[in-house]
């Protein structure tokens, strides 16, 4: 008769965790995102700047990004994230089940968390770019996150398909990120401003791309 035998792990191995570090990072990004968005809208209100599509896309971008951070904290508390997976199978199997459930939620929310920030940035590009040579690539870039976020639902009508699509979407995401960083730079360097301002604007776009 087969018996369930718990394998021997090195002393302290099962107890090792970086969960507190994950929680600290998630909380840091929650605070940073809220502060940055608050500053953005505060500036809009103080200077009475006209709102654009990029502004209206910012709240859903913030909410989905915050959702990812909250899910990371939840996973630490109920799914053993930060601990070694092998011991969890034996010491806390329910945590492994919770980890799988949270993984599905993260994959699906991740589609929106990737799409909305990119769409907001690209919408701001459309406010800056006036020539067809720059607007056409921007529209193409807009279609990519839209397809990645909505395509699985529109075509397959199955939420879980979002996970598989996102898993295969790393390369397109990286490519679109790089293109989004490079695209505005020629426009910046053609502006009739001094080099310090050009370098400052370049830094802003590079920081936004990161």
Q: How confident is the model at residue 208 (pLDDT cuts 50, 70, 90)?
A: low
Yes or no: say if 122 and 143 are a contact pair by the CB < 8 Å rule.
no
pLDDT value, residue 29: 96
Residue 29: phi and psi, rounded to 5, are -70, -30
Tokens of 62: 């913030």
Other residues' Cβ atoms within 10 Å of the Cβ of residue 26: 20
pLDDT digits over 87-135, tens only?
888 889 999 999 999 988 888 888 889 889 999 999 999 988 888 888 9
Q: Which of 127, 159, 130, 125 is nearest to 142 (CA)?
A: 125
User: What residues contact residue 64 under an 8 Å CB cut-off, 6+ apart?
Assistant: 109, 112, 113, 116
User: Of the given ranges (17-31, 66-80, 115-129), which has the lowest mean pLDDT?
Assistant: 115-129
State the average pLDDT for the chain.
Answer: 84
Q: Quick check: 147 pLDDT over 90?
A: no
Q: Quick check: 2 pLDDT over 50?
A: no
């Amino acid at each position: 008769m087969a018996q369930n035998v718990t394998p021997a792990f090195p002393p302290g191995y099962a107890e090792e965790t970086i969960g507190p570090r994950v929680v600290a990072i998630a909380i840091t990004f929650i605070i940073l995102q809220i502060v940055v968005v608050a500053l953005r809208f505060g500036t809009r209100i103080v200077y009475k700047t006209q709102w654009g599509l990029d502004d209206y896309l910012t709240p859903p971008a913030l909410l989905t990004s915050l959702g990812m951070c909250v899910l990371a904290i939840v996973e630490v508390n109920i799914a053993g994230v930060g601990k070694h997976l092998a011991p969890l199978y034996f010491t806390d199997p329910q945590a492994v089940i919770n980890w799988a459930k949270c993984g599905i939620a993260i994959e699906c929310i991740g589609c929106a968390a990737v799409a909305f920030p990119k769409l907001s940035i690209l919408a701001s590009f459309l406010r800056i770019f006036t020539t067809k040579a720059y607007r056409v690539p921007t529209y193409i870039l807009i279609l990519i996150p839209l397809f990645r976020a909505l395509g699985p639902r529109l075509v397959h009508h199955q939420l879980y398909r979002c996970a598989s699509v996102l898993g295969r979407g790393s390369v397109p995401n990286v490519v679109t990120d790089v293109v989004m960083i490079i695209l505005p730079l020629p426009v910046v360097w053609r502006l009739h401003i001094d080099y310090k301002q050009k370098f400052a604007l370049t830094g802003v776009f590079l920081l936004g791309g990161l």
